[in-house]
């Protein structure tokens, strides 16, 4: 048995069919999907299992969909008596981490992420933008290029991967400058808006009053937040962090390094795909990292936990 850090993925980890095996095999997961569908007044199973992909990937759909699948995977872990000692989530995934820590209940979680997605989509239509991955270029150099071009860092994912965000033209210029500066690879991302940038300030302003109305409970386990890569100390901190996160870079590498520095050695990505598992291997190969998203990955995890 190990002490596990639960990592929850965010937007970009979706695929049609995610969560289906757990839905078919666990009545508790079917109940979770049913409750989420009732709260949101949307057919969450159909969205997750049938798509179609062009509907699933819409920001206002994919944020609740991934969150419910994350919570389904978390539910299955609980049913196998596997509980986190600490949690973290990548951007959207932070809401799942807060649920796992007992800070938010199901109703508030799914309503917040549905609203978050809708407001981000609305903001991206008012201020269209783009994002790009910059591979193997010094963070200081990327920061200088961002400042020169009028764009921002959205995600510090791992030493070799920094995501930049901002208006389309300036992002194209920043990509060209990054390639000229020696970046190993630069790739524009298939996203519908400039997430984690000042272009989202309207979304942030509209989101704030809804977050303030939520009831936040004291964390039952530490949650490392994206904004400053530190553990949340109290329920009173949560609203500010969730509000700030919309326009603030996701400090994922720093969050993981903080967890490792605190002595954690066993990590499991709880949710669709293996994006965070892959990033972990680029941050520190000395720790154990697994994932749970379906029957096969669950079986592998349970065997490793013996």
Q: Residue 148: what pLDDT?
A: 97
| CATH code, 245 | 3.40.366.10
Could you count the other beta carbons within 10 Å of the beta carbon of residue 295?
13
Residues 244, 228: Cα–Cα separation, whole Å: 10
Tell me the CA distances in angstroms from 236 to 98, 215, 239, 260, 301, one per residue in order.
13, 10, 7, 26, 35
Pair 226, 255: CB distance under 8 Å:
yes
Q: Residue 192: what pLDDT?
A: 86
Query: Which is the catalytic residue, given 90, 96, 178, 196?
Result: 196
Q: Residue 47: what pLDDT?
A: 98
What is the end-to-end Cα distance of the chain in Å, rounded?
Answer: 6
Same domain, 232 and 160: no
- To the query of whether residue 196 is one of the catalytic residues in this protein, the response is yes
pLDDT digits (tens, 9 = 90+) for 195-238: 999 999 999 999 999 999 999 999 999 999 999 999 998 999 99
| CATH code, 160 | 3.30.70.250
How many Å is the maximal CA-CA distance in the chain? 54
Same domain, 103 and 207: yes
Query: Which is the catalytic residue, given 13, 37, 90, 91?
Result: 91
Among 188, 207, 231, which residue terminates a domain? 188
Q: For all residues of the chain together, what is the average pLDDT?
A: 97
Task: Evaluate if residue 68 carries a pLDDT over 70.
Answer: yes
Tell me the CA distances in angstroms from 184 to 142, 162, 260, one per residue in order.
13, 12, 27
Residues 33, 44: Cα–Cα separation, whole Å: 6
Query: Looking at residues 137-156, what average pLDDT do you find?
Result: 97
Query: Looking at residues 88-113, what average pLDDT do you find?
Result: 98
Tokens of 102: 């007992």
Same domain, 20 and 89: yes
Same domain, 27 and 99: yes
pLDDT-based confidence at residue 306 (cuts at 50, 70, 90):
confident
Same domain, 67 and 155: no
**Lowest-pLDDT range of 37-41, 59-63, 187-191:** 187-191
pLDDT digits (tens, 9 = 90+) for 256-287: 999 999 999 999 999 999 999 999 999 999 99
Among 163, 188, 213, which residue terminates a domain? 188
Among 140, 161, 188, which residue terminates a domain? 188
- What's the structural domain count of the chain? 2
Task: Evaluate if residue 66 carries a pLDDT over 80.
Answer: yes
Task: Evaluate if residue 1 carries a pLDDT over 80.
Answer: no
Same domain, 92 and 230: yes
Same domain, 85 and 106: yes
- To the query of whether residue 90 is one of the catalytic residues in this protein, the response is no
Same domain, 133 and 119: no
Same domain, 158 and 292: no
Same domain, 209 and 274: yes
Domain membership of residue 46 as a residue range: 4-125+197-304
Same domain, 272 and 144: no
Task: Evaluate if residue 96 carries a pLDDT over 80.
Answer: yes
Same domain, 52 and 141: no
């Amino acid at each position: 048995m190990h002490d596990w850090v639960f990592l929850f993925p965010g937007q970009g980890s979706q695929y049609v069919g995610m969560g289906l095996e757990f839905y078919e095999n666990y009545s508790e997961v079917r109940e979770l999907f049913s409750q989420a569908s009732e709260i949101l007044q949307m057919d969450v199973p159909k969205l997750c299992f049938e798509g179609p992909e062009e509907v699933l990937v819409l920001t206002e759909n994919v944020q609740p969909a991934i969150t419910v699948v994350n919570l389904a995977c978390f539910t299955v872990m609980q049913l196998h008596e596997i509980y986190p000692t600490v949690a973290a989530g990548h951007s959207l995934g932070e809401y799942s981490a807060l649920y796992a820590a007992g800070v938010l209940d199901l109703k508030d979680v799914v309503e917040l992420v549905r609203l978050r997605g809708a407001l981000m989509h609305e903001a991206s239509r008012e201020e269209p933008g783009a994002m790009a991955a910059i591979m193997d270029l010094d963070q200081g150099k990327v920061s200088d290029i961002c400042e020169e071009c009028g764009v921002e860092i959205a995600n510090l994912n791992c030493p070799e991967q920094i995501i930049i965000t901002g208006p389309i033209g300036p992002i194209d210029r920043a990509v060209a400058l990054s390639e000229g500066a020696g970046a190993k690879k630069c790739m524009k991302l298939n996203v519908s808006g400039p997430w984690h940038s000042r272009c989202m300030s309207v979304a942030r302003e509209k989101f704030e009053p809804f977050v303030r109305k939520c009831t936040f409970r004291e964390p039952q386990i530490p949650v490392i937040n994206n904004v400053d890569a530190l553990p949340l100390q109290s329920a009173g901190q949560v609203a500010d962090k969730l509000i700030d996160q919309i326009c603030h870079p996701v400090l994922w590498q720093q969050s993981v390094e903080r967890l490792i520095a605190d002595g954690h050695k066993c990590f499991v990505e709880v949710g669709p795909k293996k994006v965070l598992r892959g990033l972990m291997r680029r941050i520190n190969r000395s720790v154990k990292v697994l994932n749970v998203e379906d029957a096969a990955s669950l079986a592998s995890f349970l065997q490793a936990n013996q």
